[in-house]
Amino acid sequence: MTTEPNPKSETASEIILGNLSTAILVISEGHNILFANQAAENLLKESATQMAGQCLIDLIINGEELAEIVSEAALTNKTFTRRRMQLLLPGKDNFTADVTVTPVLDQGQTVVELIPMDRYLRIDRDAAIQEHHDVTRQMVRGLAHEIKNPLGGIKGSAELLARELPDKSLEEYTDIIIEETNRLTSLLDRMLGPNTLAQKTPISIHQVLERTANLIELESKNLEVIRDYDPSIPELLIDPELMLQAVLNVARNAMQILETTPHPVLTFTTRIERQFTINGQRHKVVVRMDIRDNGSGIPPEIQEQLFYPMISRRPGGTGLGLTFAQSIIAQHNGMIEFESEPGDTTFSIIIPLEQNNE
């Protein structure tokens, strides 16, 4: 970097830095932000324009230690690294990052690299969950097909038996057999998930969220529904009906938990994120849809298995809604993740903005 950069080289540098997954800040001698790349915007939850000129300790609440490292690096012309540094942002959001501070010789500037460990740990966790989900789904599909075949035979035999019964009063028993086989077949169909491929078409994700929010408001009169949309988000290539079903499953799951909450609030939020990794593939731009509730939270003992069939965070739940939703989102090359503590649970549906044609 030079004091008076050539416009062409500056543009090339910004393109290169902008495509890095590592968050990069360039800091002046007075600890003011001179440059922030896209990864830094995502991590610090502010745009580069908003960060420009801000003091480091205003941007990061507990940034005194980091500011000291920046000063030390500039003074000694040495690179410093701190592992797993806890950093706090305005709004009480915090994250853990590996921090590397490198002075830019003869420029009075310092480059700060922030590698968020939370995100890498989450990528590992999401990859493990996805792998377990794939294995479980194949096992459930095989088991469901094995069960459905004899169920069809039982139902057919009961129908034939009902026609041959000498006493019509005995049909009550064959009716029970037929009804129960129908119920089990329906349950197995739900466990198998969507049986059609997504029919994708360009549509605003806010249309899907509005339909979901309106349905939730009709189903629960006491629930406050808040919309926090980013109107700049372009259309997504999605299957509107399948996406509605996925979002509705997540929202209804939250709504049912909120039935015992004194002042229930459900918030729908949309945002753009950049340089986001899904199933080992990094996407330049993704759309994040957050469904946040102030319910009792997800019990820690079921968090790792929450997307498995028959696992539910509410009494009496079938545990198929989230499994079904995850299957739909997977068809859109996306993922569902969540964060939960008592009084604050957020499910995030993340979809790449540029979908494959496959």
Identify the DSSP state of 47. -
- Ranges of each domain in the chain: 7-117, 121-192, 201-352
Contact 169, 303 (CB under 8 A): no
pLDDT of residue 267: 96
Contact 56, 70 (CB under 8 A): yes
Residue 311 pLDDT greater than 80, yes or no? no
284 phi/psi in degrees, rounded to 5: -65, -45
Residue 134 pLDDT greater than 50, yes or no? yes
SS3 state of residue 290: strand
d(CA 247, CA 347): 10
DSSP string, 15-44: HHHHT-SSEEEEE-TTSBEEEE-HHHHHHH
- Among residues 248, 182, 155, the alpha carbon closest in space to that of 209 is found at 248
pLDDT of residue 6: 46
CATH pick for 7-117 out of 3.30.450.20, 2.60.120.330, 3.90.1260.10, 3.40.630.10: 3.30.450.20
Least confident of 94-98, 117-121, 205-209, 342-346: 117-121
- Among residues 352, 349, 308, the alpha carbon closest in space to that of 134 is found at 308
Q: Between β-strands 33-36 and 109-116, what pairing exists: parallel, antiparallel or unpaired?
A: unpaired
pLDDT of residue 8: 42
Determine how many CB atoms are found less than 10 A away from the CB of residue 351: 21
Amino acid at 214: N
Average pLDDT taken over every residue of the chain: 82
pLDDT of residue 164: 83
pLDDT of residue 80: 93
Residue 11 pLDDT greater than 70, yes or no? no
* Token pair for 310: 């028959």
Residue count (the chain): 358
pLDDT of residue 357: 40
- Among residues 128, 120, 78, the alpha carbon closest in space to that of 98 is found at 120
Q: pLDDT tens digits, residue range 64-114?
A: 889 899 999 988 989 999 888 888 888 757 788 889 999 987 778 899 998
Give the dihedral of Cα atoms 273, 276, 278, 282; nearest 10 deg. 130
Q: pLDDT tens digits, residue range 203-254?
A: 999 999 999 999 999 888 889 999 999 999 999 999 998 899 899 989 998 9
Q: pLDDT tens digits, residue range 258-292?
A: 988 899 999 999 999 887 888 778 888 999 999 99
CATH number of 201-352: 3.30.565.10
Contact 69, 49 (CB under 8 A): no
Residue that the structure tokens 């957020």 belong to: 346
Q: What is the mean pLDDT of residues 125-142?
A: 67
User: 10-28: string of b/e by CB count within 10 Å (b at 16+)?
Assistant: eeeeeeebbeebbbbbbbb
Residue that the structure tokens 């009804």 belong to: 179
